[in-house]
Amino acid sequence: MKTESRYLRSQFVQAFALCSLVLLPNAGAWADEGMWTFDNPPTKQLRQRYNFTPTEEWLDHVRLSSVRFNDGGSGSFVSPHGLALTNHHVALGQLQKISTPQKDYVKDGFYARTQAEEVKCPDLELNVLISMENVTARVLGVLKPGMSDKETNDARKAEIAKIEKESLDKTGLRSDVISLYQGGEYWLYRYKKYTDVRMVFAPEQQIAFYGGDPDNFTYPRYDLDMAMFRVYENDKPADTSNYLRWDPQGASDGDLVFVSGNPGSTERLSTMVQLEDQRDCFYPLLLKMYRRRLGVLKQYAALGPEQAREATRQIFGIENSLKAFTGEYEGLQDKNLMAKRQKEETEFRARVDSNPEWKAAYGSAWDEIAKAEKLYMTRLKDTRFRSVRASSMAANAPTIVQYVAEVQKPDGQRLDGFHDSELESLRFRLLSPAPVYPKMEEALLVDSLQEGLEELGPNDVFIQTVLNGRSPREVATEVTAHTKLGDAAFRKSLLEGGPAAVAASTDPLVVLAVKIDPIMREVRKWYEDNVQSVETSAGEKIGKARFTVYGKTTYPDATFTLRLSYGTVKGYPMNGTKAPSHTTFYGLYDRAYSFDMKPPFQLPQRYVESKNKFDLSTPLDFVNTCDIIGGNSGSPVINRAGELVGLIFDGNIESLVGNYIYSEESNRAVAVHTAGMTEALRKVYDAGPLADELEGR
């Protein structure tokens, strides 16, 4: 099951944060709030506020045209021939992986004029949500009175694994059981997978991410944050008859629009104790870790142009996360926001306690979570630092060690992440042929071991096991110098060779991973038995209580599964004046010349040369009130007719507290405008045929 646990939050968050995005709630009687599941769309709000009723056909069309990018973003099909649109920053990882020191597609952009020129991505998996089935009764049916939290957790997990396995065997589709409403509901989501995904178009990063870190998460904005892939089946462009027609006029001020995508995670239904721990423990720690990681990467990038190229994506990702976390952290420090959340919780609990039956069934949940959280905080550092981190090459080692052990067990007894239904995607990722940059991996590993030493102390069992009296630099240098884990074929030999191959391996990273495996398992088991199991059970109570008290009037927290948001194309009060609902290419040139073409505000040469060749008054970016968050990057913006009018790529600065609360007043989703995309494709990139395919010509 893919319920996000905060144990894994750090890595998840980074993945989502790559796709910026965040938005916030609040407002009274139904603002444009909510990330709604497709089984429960906000029909009442849409009818009352917008006089719009989505039909079943409309919903199916939107859902089947929507694509999840499994490395942390969203997208949509935009032609019947497998063409998929997403953000440049979602495509960034693949762009970097298909680049070489000689040909830097991140810097220069990429355009395949013919299908033959399309380049296959090494490890990109796309998912389309085919069906949804409510399996709450089945999951909860295995839980018996008198079970301990641990027994409950084990039974729940086993049943979920069983459902997923049965579905996979029956349908051949990727099958995930997800938990919604903190366990109030469990659903089986089935996905069609695409793993032959080829790069079609990407502009220069400098225009996709124009304004760089300073402009990130802000608006007005002037970014052409787009990229296109094509999905193939049997070496031919896939037939994607469910796709979004291109509205060349694009979104206009005041239009009702929808966003269909995969918001990563939110904390809107978390308890106050959980929020307070986020504020007082998680964010300070995360921010410290990310700042440290950023320093290492910047130091590495400063060594030369090739090093800078290698570190591009990670630097982008970490700066992006740091800016997002800072905004979220400030949100948690905002006394008004916290008071609002406290008021909601107090009222909810009072309602629960007012009915003896409800009180008996659900009333204890908040205190149970509080207790588990308190326990959790005592070993927070263990859960963070007793692991091989930062270097993705090195981090693969413990995963491989666990893989070969876990797959020996019955599915229901395995660690999450190793169930049968998950293995294909996991292998796809572990066996990626993408290039590895050993010197960067080494630098990251040196620092993460040093960080572990500082945080856990020299007497920690993990540290002693890893270092064994040597320095972090000695250990990291040695293992990265001699490991073959950078080679996909070696990784494959381990996976296929199973426990015997792993046990026999003398690869220093594998040897290290075997040594630390029991320590990592201990922490994980402790967390699952003492924190996760308690909080899941208590969360289920709160989820049920919410349905009981308020009915199913709300939407679940984000879970990186498909959601529908709705809203209006609308400016907002900003900086003492008004932000317009859209920007134009004129603004791009203004910002460039205003900063005297200094980075990160310089223009790619192509734009300097093209400035008199196209209509600068064409809309470039726009904002709307749709409720989104990290993971929604690349989501299509859709009009009433189910056509594409824009491409989500960010939230504004006011949106960063969206992890906790939504406010319609000034929080906005930021999108690229369809008119801007085709104008640039035709006039700046000379990519008329691609624009024609988008416009159905």
Closest distance of CB 673 from a copy of itself, Å: 11
Cβ closest to a copy of itself, residue 109 vs residue 676:
676
- The answer to whether residues 596 and 279 touch, using CB atoms and an 8 Å cutoff, is no
**Count of chain residues binding a copy of itself (CB under 8 A):** 35
- CA 536 to chain CA centroid, Å, is 22
- CA 550 to chain CA centroid, Å, is 30
353 binding a copy of itself? (CB under 8 A): no
Question: What phi-psi label fits residue 390: left (phi over 0), alpha (psi between -120 and 50 degrees) or beta?
Answer: left
604 binding a copy of itself? (CB under 8 A): no
- The answer to whether residues 428 and 526 touch, using CB atoms and an 8 Å cutoff, is no
Cβ closest to a copy of itself, residue 503 vs residue 608:
608
- Collect all residues with Cβ–Cβ distance below 8 Å to 523 and sequence separation of at least 6: 379, 382, 383, 386
Closest distance of CB 580 from a copy of itself, Å: 4
653 binding a copy of itself? (CB under 8 A): yes
586 binding a copy of itself? (CB under 8 A): yes
- The answer to whether residues 278 and 338 touch, using CB atoms and an 8 Å cutoff, is no
Q: Which stretch binds a copy of itself (CB under 8 A): 116-124, 270-278, 331-339, 580-588?
A: 580-588
Cβ closest to a copy of itself, residue 533 vs residue 584:
584
Which of 101, 141, 172, 214 binds a copy of itself (CB under 8 A)? It is 214
Q: What are phi and psi of 204, to 5 degrees?
A: -60, 140
Which of 459, 576, 599, 697 binds a copy of itself (CB under 8 A)? It is 576
Cβ closest to a copy of itself, residue 110 vs residue 217:
217
Place of tokens 């981090």: 395
Binding mask 241-280 for a copy of itself (x = CB under 8 A): ------------x---------------------------
215 binding a copy of itself? (CB under 8 A): yes
Binding residues among 302-331 for a copy of itself as defined by CB under 8 A = 323, 327
614 binding a copy of itself? (CB under 8 A): no
Binding residues among 218-237 for a copy of itself as defined by CB under 8 A = 218, 220
Tokens linked to 683: 């006039």
Tokens linked to 96: 């970097």
From 272, 155, 87, 154, select the one nearest 651 (Cα to Cα).
87
- CA 41 to chain CA centroid, Å, is 22
Give dist(CA 224, CA 610) in Å, integer.
15
Q: Residue 188: in which H helix or E strand, if any?
A: strand 185-194
Binding residues among 536-575 for a copy of itself as defined by CB under 8 A = 574-575
Give dist(CA 608, CA 204) in Å, integer.
13
Q: Which stretch binds a copy of itself (CB under 8 A): 4-12, 43-51, 73-81, 595-603?
A: 595-603
287 binding a copy of itself? (CB under 8 A): no
Binding residues among 161-200 for a copy of itself as defined by CB under 8 A = none
Give dist(CA 573, CA 2) in Å, integer.
38
**Residue 39 three-state SS:** coil
Closest distance of CB 595 from a copy of itself, Å: 5
658 binding a copy of itself? (CB under 8 A): no
Give dist(CA 253, CA 610) in Å, integer.
28
582 binding a copy of itself? (CB under 8 A): yes
Q: Which stretch binds a copy of itself (CB under 8 A): 28-36, 157-165, 264-272, 592-600?
A: 592-600
Cβ closest to a copy of itself, residue 144 vs residue 335:
335
Give dist(CA 384, CA 524) in Å, integer.
11
Give dist(CA 330, CA 332) in Å, integer.
5
Which of 58, 526, 547, 589 binds a copy of itself (CB under 8 A)? It is 589
357 binding a copy of itself? (CB under 8 A): no
Cβ closest to a copy of itself, residue 253 vs residue 454:
253
30 binding a copy of itself? (CB under 8 A): no
Residues listed for the chain: 697
Give dist(CA 444, CA 477) in Å, integer.
11
Which of 30, 428, 526, 595 binds a copy of itself (CB under 8 A)? It is 595
Given strand 644-651, what is the order of strands in its sheet? 563-568, 256-261, 636-638, 644-651, 669-673, 619-624, 582-584
Q: Residue 695: in which H helix or E strand, if any?
A: helix 688-695
Please work out, in degrees rounded to the nearest 5, the angle formed at the alpha carbon of residue 403 by the alpha carbons of 402 and 407: 115
Q: Which stretch binds a copy of itself (CB under 8 A): 4-12, 209-217, 234-242, 516-524?
A: 209-217
584 binding a copy of itself? (CB under 8 A): yes
Closest distance of CB 678 from a copy of itself, Å: 17
Binding residues among 115-144 for a copy of itself as defined by CB under 8 A = none
587 binding a copy of itself? (CB under 8 A): yes
580 binding a copy of itself? (CB under 8 A): yes
Give dist(CA 281, CA 276) in Å, integer.
8
Q: Residue 176: in which H helix or E strand, if any?
A: strand 174-180
Which of 594, 641, 665, 688 binds a copy of itself (CB under 8 A)? It is 594
217 binding a copy of itself? (CB under 8 A): yes
**Residues contributing to the site for a copy of itself (CB under 8 A):** 211, 214-218, 220, 253, 323, 327, 574-578, 580-587, 589-591, 593-596, 601, 616-617, 652-653
